Amino acid sequence: MGSWAGAGGCLLLSVATSTLILLTRPPGSWGARIIGGHEVAPHSRPYMASLRFQGQHHCGGFLLRARWVVSAAHCIKDRDPLAGLVVLGAHDLRVAETTQQVFSIQDAFTHPDYQPSTHANDICLLKLNVSAALGGAVGLLKLPRRGARPPKAGAWCQVNGWGAVSDFQDLPPGLMEAKVRVLGSDTCNNSWSGRLRPAMLCARSGDSRRRGFCSADSGGPLVCGSRAHGLVSFSGLWCGDPKYPDVYTQVSAFVTWIWGVIQQ
């Protein structure tokens, strides 16, 4: 939802206005931060990728193979993906860290059934121009096993991102993380007034505090039990709002598609 980041962050509009906006605009994308999270130890999440356009962080993603990054389809919608860059080995995006490796995108594959209006099948694969050099600061994250089910309601997972930490789009001092709990899809679908589609996974803070993701965190992984079970897809008007649970692409539903593209 990075494309909406210019809308000015987590705007505090009146409830009446917000309801109207939720009905007339694609959900999510208001503001740009991991809400209620903390900065992680540098390079402790070596699979995290930053997808950049025109020199600016736009979305997250994760490194699946030395030459392949998984991200959300909406991150490259209306853009020329081959004009983007992928940065690996980063912690603080504001500086050129010696651990950073920068790649061009040689090829991009959006899921053939991606539907921008409903966010269904919000996943893409980015092929880097060369293989990343794996090491301390750059590493792989596993997919769910073939045929694996999504994590059960109540399971704890973590989401990472470099989404801006202020309404003025300042980058955070380093990679951020929030712990969230998986929410049952029926409960989530009710909260979203029936707008949940198959192959989506919901999570929320699991307590009364606001916690979750925001716009420039899009495409980043939701890690449950050391595997990527979700990709940041969309959220409500207020980032981390428990009324509108955060919605992720359910990665386990795309394992066959992913390996099919990579092995092509």
Site for ligand NAG in 236-255 (CB under 6 A): none
CB atoms within 10 A of CB 186: 10
Q: Does 194 bind ligand NAG (CB under 6 A)?
A: yes
43 in catalytic set: no
Q: Does 104 bind ligand NAG (CB under 6 A)?
A: yes
Of 158 and 189, nearer to ligand NAG (C-beta) is 189
Q: Does 102 bind ligand NAG (CB under 6 A)?
A: yes
Alpha helices in 153-263 (DSSP H): 185-191, 255-263
122 in catalytic set: yes
139 Cβ contact list (under 8 Å, min separation 6):
46, 47, 63
Alpha helices in 177-251 (DSSP H): 185-191
Q: Does 189 bind ligand NAG (CB under 6 A)?
A: yes
Six-digit token pair at 163?
């989404």
Nearest to 97 by CA among 166, 48, 159: 48
Q: Does 130 bind ligand NAG (CB under 6 A)?
A: yes
113 in catalytic set: no
Alpha-carbon distances, residue 69 vs 16, 30, 138 (angstroms): 40, 25, 12
Among residues 43, 58, 74, 91, the one annotated as catalytic is: 74
Among residues 58, 122, 215, 229, the one annotated as catalytic is: 122
Where does this chain touch ligand NAG (CB under 6 A) — which range of 6-14, 89-97, 166-174, 193-201?
Answer: 193-201
Q: Which stretches of the chain bind ligand NAG, using CB under 6 A? A: 85, 102-104, 129-130, 185, 189, 194, 196-198
